[in-house]
Amino acid sequence: MHQLMHWQKEAVMALDHTAMWEWLGAELKNRVPEKSQELFVEMMRQNILFPSEAKKWVDILFANDLTFSDEYAEILKTAGGDFFVAAEHAVKQHDADLKTILQELKTTLNVSGKNLFMPIRIALTGEPHGPELAQIAILLGADKMRERFLSVQALVKK
């Protein structure tokens, strides 16, 4: 099985953009905005073995609401409301420039490493792992990032 998965990954990585886009299937293609298609395809190439795995990321990135497991909600609550107020403010100032946003949060909140990245990743995707966070920020855009940070602020206050 390990060998099969290795060759599957090789096959996915060898697909050109057009072939990869077609391989993902019509259902997914209809849900990814045209302006996001190229980055979405490249992001998926690095992170999936089968088209069905891309559906999860379409749901996460292009749906309006996220749900958080109890475990992940606890991570968000531990980060605290001030963390997400500062994150929302940083996005307002720096758009979807994740590097600058993270640097500002690191400086203003005196937080780094997993305590910085994990709450951001979970707030934006509902997942602790996945595609590169900078690509996720670009695909979501500033408005959706702010919306998600505001929604997490409400969750943390409960």
Model confidence, pTM: 0.91
pLDDT of 67 strictly over 80: yes
- C-alpha distances (whole Å) from 106 to each of 8, 73, 100, 111, 128 are 39, 21, 10, 5, 19
End-to-end Cα separation, the chain, in angstroms: 45
Mean pLDDT score, 130-143: 96
CATH topology of domain 70-157: Arc Repressor Mutant, subunit A (1.10.10)
Q: Which DSSP string do the residues of 85-109 spell out, in sequence order?
A: HHHHHHHHHHTT-HHHHHHHHHHHH
pLDDT for residue 18: 95
Domain positions in the chain: 2-62, 70-157
pLDDT at 95: 95
| pLDDT tens track for 22-48 | 999 998 989 999 999 999 999 999 999
**Paired tokens of 101:** 């946003």
